[in-house]
Chains A and B, each alone.
Chain A
Amino acid sequence: MTRNARFRKKRKTAGQKAPVILPGPAPDRPLSDDLDENERLIRDAFRHCADLVVRRLVLGDNTEMLIVYLEGMVEGKALDDNVLKPLLFESPQTFRHVGDLIEKKAVAVSSLKTVNGLTEFIDGILAANAGFLVSGVREGLIAGLTGYQTRSVEEPLTEAGIRGPRDGFTESIRINTTMLRRRIRSTRLKFEPVTFGELTRTDCLLAYIEGLAPDSLLREVRRRLGQIRLEGVLESQYIQEWLEDHPLSPFPQVQDTERPDTVAASLLEGKAAVLVDNTPFALIMPYTLWAGLQAREDYYDRFLFADFLRFVRFTFIFISFLLPSLYVALTTYHPKLLPTNLLMSIAAAREAVPFPALIEALLMELVFEALREAGVRMPRAVGSAVNIVGALVIGQSAVQAGIVSAPMVIVVAATGIASFLIPRQALSASVRLIRFLLLFLAGFLGLYGIAIGVIALTIHLVNLQSFGVPYLYPVAPLVPKGLKDLLIRTPSPRLYRLKRAGSGTDGPESRTPGPEGSRQQTTSGKDAGQP
């Protein structure tokens, strides 16, 4: 584990200049029976918080009641209808116990919790609940009247698809769990709560299916989750880096997705998922390269067409990371290998280009990456301007002016399209990075450099693991039966039988990490790691 610990530097919250000195975990002081005292303590804790609402009600002779909530976090109408109206319009009542509030039908809310401690009470309010305190009672009541605005369920922009469910995760973890629960109506679907961020207190859930996800995997995930020390978690990437076996690798070892169906499918394969509040991106682990190359449509389309698409995708992945470097190597080092006619055309097109092929390729690749990044960042309103500049100025004018050659534009365009064929954005990003590395190797060493680069890449990939599962499983180590869902997708009934036999690519048992996350390889797919 030393290897991982070395990389696990403490991550600062985005945008923060200096680390905030956190107050140590204060011992929870009990609530007082004096309402004034309680109010003073709460107001003190929430000082300078303009969104705090403290409402004092007189409920009869000596009974007073305090309603505390954060403005906008609580649904006002429900508070009025279910709490205030019954309290104010019923005859005066006395409460000796917060339970009385419910028994005497003063608070008509389904989600209720009684708390004793001040911190616990404040936490409840921070978590978008309304808090009730009654004079002379040492307990508080937290009522779930959550009413903040959430985005509605929409189709994810990052993972578009033709066939299949259109819903995507939202920023609200509660809505997200319903999407999973609706898909897997089983008590075996578990959501274990974890909270991260000493300041942000972000809710996270470890989701898995009991009996499908191997215990060793869950132990390891829990252990790594337990190691996380963060001040703030604003996105699942924050914890993703803590979860990965090799954070310095360009390849992601945890899958992220916005799609509830993707998460559900992974859970059914015996993987575990971590849902993080305030982000639609869920994390799935373990992850293999092949999982990154499979799109959900592989399973939603008819298998022949899905296999065809998979073939196209695999082909274009090679184009995506090899084409520019091959072009540079072949034209500058090995023009002998090209057919004469093609070489003559390329030579003709390159005739007026002032740059060496390597510089030309780097220039165009960088411009393409810049255009792509601009496309993400630009305001929608100026989108067409960027497109015009990109297509006309860089594509056409640069060729006409003789700054770059037309074949290079074709190579870069083909590479760009190819990189979009990788279904997972994170993996696509790794491939784009590696493309530049190979480009340099090709520019300085020709095909020999490409060979060195590819060998180094292979060595790296073979050594990668994700939660104990080799990154190239089931190709390296080779598990022949696992290949049935790798390059081609076997028709569903057959695949089902294979998975039941416990030897499918994504079969749950096959993903078993070694005990306590040791780096043992699961060489035999079926029962490795199982006691």
Chain B
Amino acid sequence: MSEPGKIGTACRTAAALLALIVLAGCWDRQELNDRALWLATGIDDAGEGNIKVSGQIVIPLNVQAPSSAGSGGKGDPYMVVSQTGTNLGDILQDIQSKLPREVFFGQRRVIFLGEELAKKGLSGILDFTTRLAEASFRTDMYIMKGATANDALQMRGTLEFVSVFSALKKHEQSGGRGETTYLDFLIAAHRDGIVPTLPAAQLFVSDDMKPANYFEITGVAVLDDDLKLAGYLNVDEDRDLLWLLNKLSRIILTVDLEGGNASARFVNLRSSIKPSRNKDGSWHFEITLRGDGSLVENNTGLSVEKKGELEKLERAFEKEAANRMAGTIRKAQETFGLDVFGFGVVVHRRHPREWPALKDRWNEEFRRATFNVRADLNLKRPGLTGKSII
């Protein structure tokens, strides 16, 4: 191998590598000391076509008291900034001018939306949050029922040291959607055959929990096709909705039976939907709910050691689950007339040729549709005792 040839190759390779480095970018170097970690966004309606954006930002000096940080005043580890303006891009520039550090959205974990804003429609605010490259889709999202998003960011006295984490953790712990909320919402908002829903939460001041105010997930907000708030479903209905969407991880069902009552905790929850046509042309859906349960409480006098009596219990739970689900579907049909469950998605998948004709009037079809709910639940773990010992 001749030397010049080798050198030429080496030069060409080096040049290519250099171009690779320069062209690929990735120049967004920013020290942590120069970033303001933005943990949560709150968006409210400010009237006159304006919106108010609030943000919860970490104050690193107050996060812990490491000996290195010196004598930081022990305040809250976060602060809330807010600004009113016409759109998010405009507002963020104003917020940025209030802060000495560059706002960093990469760790935004929660978005709160005020109820007033939700009533006017969310379509105006979504573009910015989705267009921003550094913002994560792993974000929880709430509509604050009867409160503003700013109030939610101001809440204090939660178990978590940064208050918005309590919202996120509560959501995950309740067996719901958690961090995929934002992504699910975006998918539903851009899809035919399902209307998007968002968890709804309220702030309470009560003696149930001592701190000034606390945050509770109180159901789910139903949005119509224009992303305007249509109404709310309560917590139980929210669980049914999530079960049907295959997003629920656990549920506790309680039944009254033989003069007593029994509760069981079900996991491995799944559902299947089978569409068919009725004679009058309306749609019919066969829904099957499945799950494995462990008995939590049994005050019925039935002995779970006997197969027949255990099955009796199971039947009772299945009936309860099916009735609940039917009621929730009926409520969605009658109160909102909006397909929050995504039956349209199932129809689209099963009958792709018929779908284009159905697409635009699907919510009417949903209102006319009939349902049959069947549950198939197994009580796998009866617990330590057989018949109630008392």
- Do B17 and A452 touch (CB < 8 A)? yes
| Nearest CB on A from B51, distance (A) | 25
Q: Is the CB of B58 within 8 A of A452?
A: no
**A345 is contacted by which of B30, B31, B35, B64 (Cβ under 8 Å)?**
B64
Q: Which of B24, B61, B107, B165 contacts A335 (CB 8 A)?
A: B107
Does any Cβ of A come within 8 Å of B385's Cβ? no
Q: In the assembled complex, which residues on chain A have CB atoms less than 8 Å from the CB atom of B33?
A: 347, 350-351, 353
Q: Across the interface, which residues of B come within 8 angstroms of A334, CB to CB?
A: 106
Known contacts A332-B29, A336-B106, A445-B21; is-contact A406 B63 (Cβ 8 Å)? no
Least Cβ–Cβ distance between B327 and chain A, in angstroms: 39
Complex alpha-carbon distance, A400 and B67, angstroms: 6
Contacts of B3 in A (CB 8 A): 2
Contacting residue for B68 out of A333, A340, A406, CB 8 A: A406
CB atoms of B37 and A347 under 8 A apart = yes
Centre residue among A336, A345, A346, A444 by max chain B CB count within 10 A = A336
Given known contacts A335-B104, A348-B60, A405 and B68 CB-to-CB distance under 8 angstroms: yes
Interface residues of B in 116-149 (CB under 8 A from A): 134, 136
Is A343's CB within 8 Å of the partner chain B?
yes
Known: A336-B106, A445-B21. A347 touches B63 (CB 8 A): yes
Determine how close the nearest CB of chain B comes to the CB of A450; give it in whole angstroms: 11
Shortest distance from the beta carbon of B142 to any chain A beta carbon, whole Å: 17
A46 at the interface (CB under 8 A from B): no
Smallest CB–CB gap between A395 and chain B, Å?
A: 12
A356: Cβ under 8 A from any B Cβ: yes
Query: Given the known A-B contacts A340-B107, A348-B69, are A333 and B63 also in contact in the complex, defined by CB atoms under 8 Å?
Result: no
**Contact call A352/B32, Cβ cutoff below 8 A:** no
Kindly state whether residue B26 has any CB partner on chain A within 8 Å.
yes
| Minimal beta-carbon separation of A200 from chain B (angstroms) | 34
User: Interface centre among A343, A446, A449, by most B CB within 10 Å?
Assistant: A343
Instruction: Determine how close the nearest CB of chain A comes to the CB of B172; give it in whole angstroms.
Output: 14
A148 at the interface (CB under 8 A from B): no
Interface centre among A346, A352, A446 (most CB of B within 10 A): A352
A98 CA to B61 CA in the complex, in Å?
A: 92
Closest approach, in angstroms, between the C-beta of A442 and any C-beta of chain B?
10
Which residue from chain A places its CB closest to the CB of B62 in the assembled complex?
A348
A348, B66: Cβ atoms closer than 8 Å: yes
| Cβ contacts under 8 Å, B35 to chain A | 335, 347
Assembly CA distance A231 to B35 (angstroms): 60
- Taken together as a complex, chains A and B put the C-alpha atoms of A445 and B66 apart, in Å, by 30
B61 touches A351 (CB 8 A): yes
Q: Interface size on B (CB < 8 Å)? A: 36
Instruction: Check B389 for interface membership: any CB of A closer than 8 A.
Output: no
Contact B26 A446 (CB under 8 A): yes
For B32, list chain A residues within 8 Å (CB). 331-332, 335, 343, 346-347, 350, 357
* Contact among B64, B70, B107, B165 for A343, CB-based, below 8 A: B107
- Whether, in the assembled complex, B39 has its beta carbon less than 8 Å from a beta carbon of chain A, the answer is yes
CB distance from B222 to the nearest CB of A (A): 30
Given known pairs A344-B60, A351-B61, A406-B68, the reply for A333 and B29 (CB within 8 Å) is yes
Query: Counting CB contacts under 8 A, is B20 at the interface?
Result: yes
Contacts of A348 in B (CB 8 A): 60-61, 63-64, 66, 69
Inside 8 A of A445's CB, which chain B residues have their CB? 21, 26
Shortest beta-carbon distance from A387 to chain B in Å: 22
Q: Which one of B20, B24, B68 lies within 8 Å of A402 (CB-CB)?
A: B68
Q: Does A448 count as interface, using CB distance less than 8 angstroms?
A: yes
Residue of A nearest to B6 (CB): A3
Q: Mark B228-261, 1 if CB is under 8 A from A, else 0.
A: 0000000000000000000000000000000000
Task: Verify B39–A340 contact, CB threshold 8 A.
Answer: yes
A348 to B32, CA, bound (A): 9
Chain A residues near B58 (CB-CB < 8 A): 344, 347
A399 at the interface (CB under 8 A from B): yes
A336, A444, A456: the one contacting B107 at CB < 8 Å is A336
Residues of chain B lying within 8 A (CB to CB) of residue A343: 32, 37, 107
Q: Which secondary structure dominates chain A's binding surface?
A: helix
A332 and B26 alpha carbons, distance in the complex (Å): 11
Which parts of A415-474 form the interface with B (CB within 8 Å)? 444-449, 452, 456
Q: Which residues of the other chain, B, contact A350 by a CB distance below 8 angstroms?
A: 31-33, 60
In the bound complex, residues from chain A placing their C-beta under 8 Å from that of B30 are 332-333
- Best-surrounded residue of A343, A351, A399, A446 (most CB of chain B within 10 A): A351
Whether the pair A351, B69 counts as a contact (CB closer than 8 A) is: yes
Q: Is A108 an interface residue (CB 8 A)?
A: no
Q: Which residue of B31, B109, B136, B162 is within 8 Å of A357 (Cβ)?
A: B31
- A295 CB to nearest B CB, Å: 36
With a CB–CB cut-off of 8 A, which chain A residues contact B104?
335
Partner of A336, one of B26, B64, B136, B162: B136
Does B208 belong to the interface (CB within 8 Å)? Answer: no
Cα A456 to Cα B67 with chains together (Å): 41
Contact status A336-B134, CB under 8 Å = yes
Structural contact, A340 and B109, CB atoms closer than 8 A: yes
Give chain A residues whose Cβ lies under 8 Å from the Cβ of B136. 336
Interface residue A83 (Cβ < 8 Å from any Cβ of B): no
Q: Give the distance in Å from the alpha carbon of A98 to the alpha carbon of B136 in the complex.
A: 94
Residue A349 lies at the interface, judged by CB distance under 8 Å to chain B:
yes
- Contact (Cβ within 8 A) A402 B70: yes
The reply on B28 being an interface residue by CB < 8 A is: yes
Q: Across the interface, which residues of A come within 8 angstroms of B20, CB to CB?
A: 452
Bound Cα distance A310, B31 (Å): 37
Q: Which residues of A contact B64 (CB under 8 A)?
A: 345, 348
Contact with A along B165-195 (1 / 0, CB 8 A): 1000000000000000000000000000000
* Alpha-carbon distance A347/B136, docked complex (angstroms): 19
- Closest residue of chain B to A447 (Cβ to Cβ) is B26
Complex interface: chain A residues within 8 A of B72 (CB) = 351
Complex Cα distance, B26 from A333, in Å, reads: 8
A348–B61 Cα distance when bound, in Å, is 6
Collect the chain B residues with CB atoms within 8 Å of residue A356's CB.
31
Complex Cα–Cα for A133 and B306 (A): 112
| Residues of B with C-beta under 8 A to A456 | 17
Interface flags for A388-415 (1: CB within 8 Å of B; 0: not) read: 0000000000011110011000000000
A351 to B101, CA, bound (A): 12
Which of chain B's residues has its CB closest to A343's CB? B107
Q: Which residue of B lies closest to A337 (CB)?
A: B106
Chain A to chain B: the 7 pairs with minimum beta-carbon distance, closest first = A336-B106, A348-B63, A347-B60, A348-B60, A448-B26, A351-B60, A347-B32
Other than A334-B106, A347-B60, A349-B69, give 4 A-B pairs with Cβ distance below 8 A.
Answer: A333-B28, A333-B30, A340-B165, A351-B60
- Please report B residues at the A interface, Cβ cutoff 8 Å: 1, 3, 17, 20-21, 24, 26, 28-33, 35, 37, 39, 58, 60-61, 63-64, 66-70, 72, 77, 104, 106-107, 109, 134, 136, 162, 165
A-to-B contact residues, CB < 8 Å = 2, 331-336, 340, 343-353, 356-357, 399-402, 405-406, 444-449, 452, 456
27 contacts between A and B (CB under 8 A): A332-B31, A332-B32, A333-B26, A335-B32, A335-B104, A340-B109, A343-B32, A344-B77, A347-B58, A349-B66, A349-B68, A350-B33, A351-B69, A353-B33, A356-B31, A357-B31, A357-B32, A400-B67, A400-B68, A402-B69, A406-B68, A445-B21, A445-B26, A446-B29, A448-B24, A452-B21, A456-B17
